[in-house]
Every structure is written in structure tokens, then in C-alpha cells.
Amino acid sequence: MSETLIPGKNVCSDGWHAPHGSTLTLKNPHNNDVTVKDSGVANCPWPFYSPAPPFVIQAHGTQDVVFKEDTGKHCYTTEGCPDDIGVNPKTVIIS
């Protein structure tokens, strides 16, 4: 595993990039909890080595995640983000 720590990212964001094996802090800037789940989409696997799905990020809280070593398109879904209906699954490109 790499020791690369990249800046925090809003858990409700979509379409972002991350280096394989890196650690990132997901942030929840909203007033309600956000549940992060596997998208269940074929050919779009869970992006994180840890933690395992599902996990909850408390309102105004954070959660450190470690990206898998596998490169390519990965997905997760959220419940509790303001834009969940229009922007699920969330896409992460691991390079």
C-alpha cells in the first residue's frame, strides 16, 4: 500500500480521480448523515480497499478511505446527499 495522502473530497461529489493505493479523507459537509454503498453496477466495482461497504459518514464528519490498487472506473452510491436522485452512482477513476 502506498502512503500517499491526497486532499479531502466531498463524499457527494461525482466524477473525480484518485491515485491507486492512496488514502483520502471523504468529507460530509451536510446537516445529515450520508451512507456510502456499493453501486451494484456491473463492470464498475467498489473503489475502496477499506472500509468495506456500507459505511456512514456522520453530518459534518469525515471518513478516511484507501483506494484499491486496481485502476480504471469504479463506482459507489450515496444515500443522504442533496443530489442523490440525479447523481448516483458516483464515479471515481483510479489511476
C-alpha cell at 26: 471523504
Q: What is the pLDDT of residue 16?
A: 85
Per-residue pLDDT reduced to its tens digit, 70-93: 999 999 999 999 877 668 999 999
In the block, cell 456512514 appears at: 56
Among 41-50, 64-73, 83-92, which is the least confidently predicted range?
83-92
3 state SS of 62: strand
Domains with residue ranges and CATH for the chain:
5-94 (2.60.40)
Q: What is the phi-psi region of residue 33: left when phi exceeds 0, alpha when psi lies from -120 to 50, beta otherwise? A: beta
Beta-strand ranges (E) seen in 1-95 are 5-10, 16-18, 23-27, 34-38, 48-50, 55-57, 62-67, 72-79, 90-94
Q: Is the pLDDT of residue 49 over 70?
A: yes
